[in-house]
Amino acid sequence: MNATPKKSLGQHWLYDEAMLRAICDSAEVGKGDTVLEVGPGLGTLTKQLVQRAESVVAVEFDQELADALPTTIDDGVLQVVHEDILKFDLTMLPPGYKVVANIPYYLTSNLIRVLCESPNPFSIAAILIQKEVAERVVAKPGQMSLLSVSAQYYCEASLGVFVGKELFTPPPKVDSQVLALRRREEPLFEDVNTKQFFRIVKAGFSQKRKTLLNSLSAGLAISKDEAKQLLESADVPAGHRAQALSLEDWYALYEVASQTK
């Protein structure tokens, strides 16, 4: 298939066979699996997937590529869907499907959110993204972000193979790395209202440079005295910033907030 990468869509082709195999390995793709491939592009990764999986559903936003891919790979395993992945109905896939993606960097946060929040959760995902973003997702307390809290709430997150920018055509400005997400078999915390949990988390990160005392007060529309009491009851220092907290700290804040309503 011949196609010119579209800068407007953030397209960068990866041809390196070893790297393509490593991405598939990160998702543990094997016989019997249904794989959702996001952004198949020219189909270099798709060719690896159809050799391993029972079925591959490739969602491609680019009409030209979506039309051409079935003519390149025609083996009965592949189904190509021309659609925005953020609007794709994930409930159409069988339970326990796997995700493999080489996506434009700008799509990363929204894709992780959509995949994690779906009522039909994936089992394992291997997503090739900007190296710095992958590192942020697997961050520890001290360097946490809303994205890392969200991903780690639903999944066990780890780093896979490093892919240098020189391996892409055209080369992007930054290096990439595989982010491996394994869906938690059991919820991290029991009896949690997820919407209310993330209401507190989002409030905490709403003013990143300010202390939790200020950000929670503003984000939850409560007085500073109430925010101070919330933090003290959860045993979280009021002078800390959101990036310093662990998921257990956020759960403690959630529990206290739930009890004081």
Say what the pLDDT of residue 237 is: 96
104, 209: one domain? no
132, 52: one domain? yes
Domain boundary among 183, 217, 244: 183
Say what the pLDDT of residue 218 is: 96
What is the number of structural domains in the chain? 2
Closest CA to 200 of 154, 157, 139, 258: 258
| Residue 189 lies inside a defined structural domain of this protein | no
Closest CA to 22 of 161, 207, 173: 161
Place of tokens 């779906």: 118
Tens digit of each residue's pLDDT (9 = 90 or more) over 105-139: 889 999 999 999 999 999 999 999 999 999 999 99
| Residue 75 lies inside a defined structural domain of this protein | yes
Domain extent for 229: 194-259
Is the confidence at residue 8, as pLDDT, over 90?
no
Tens digit of each residue's pLDDT (9 = 90 or more) over 38-64: 999 889 999 999 999 999 999 999 899
| Residue 15 lies inside a defined structural domain of this protein | yes
Say what the pLDDT of residue 3 is: 60
Say what the pLDDT of residue 7 is: 54
37, 114: one domain? yes
Helix locations, 38-193, DSSP H = 44-52, 63-72, 108-117, 131-137, 146-154
117, 45: one domain? yes
| Residue 1 lies inside a defined structural domain of this protein | no
pLDDT category of residue 84 using cuts at 50, 70 and 90: very high
Domain boundary among 183, 215, 245: 183
Query: Residue 30 sits in a domain of what CATH number?
Result: 3.40.50.150
Give pTM, 2 decimals. 0.92
Structure tokens at 153: 């709430």
147, 221: one domain? no
Q: Between 199 and 8, where is the model more confident?
A: 199
Average pLDDT over the chain, rounded to whole? 93
Instruction: In whole angstroms, give the CA distance from residue 174 to residue 41.
Output: 19
Say what the pLDDT of residue 110 is: 96
Strands (DSSP E) contained in the chain are: 13-14, 34-38, 55-60, 78-82, 98-102, 124-130, 155-163, 168-169, 176-183
167, 58: one domain? yes
Q: Which residues pair with 81 in a beta bridge?
A: 59
Side-chain-side CA neighbours of residue 203 (13 Å): 22
| Residue 188 lies inside a defined structural domain of this protein | no
85, 123: one domain? yes
45, 146: one domain? yes
Average pLDDT over residues 62-84: 91
36, 163: one domain? yes
Query: Residue 202 sits in a domain of what CATH number?
Result: 1.10.8.100
Domain boundary among 157, 183, 209: 183
| Residue 71 lies inside a defined structural domain of this protein | yes
Structure tokens at 40: 């198949």
Say what the pLDDT of residue 14 is: 87
70, 199: one domain? no
User: What are phi and psi for residue 18, nearest 5 degrees?
Assistant: -65, -40
Say what the pLDDT of residue 208 is: 80
Tens digit of each residue's pLDDT (9 = 90 or more) over 239-254: 999 999 999 999 999 9
Window from 10-19, 32-41, 84-93 with minimum mean pLDDT:
10-19
| Residue 221 lies inside a defined structural domain of this protein | yes
Length of the chain: 261
Say what the pLDDT of residue 170 is: 81
Q: How would you list the strands of the sheet with 34-38, edge to edge? A: 78-82, 55-60, 34-38, 98-102, 124-130, 176-183, 155-163
| Residue 14 lies inside a defined structural domain of this protein | yes
DSSP 172: -
101, 226: one domain? no
179, 198: one domain? no
Average pLDDT over residues 137-152: 97
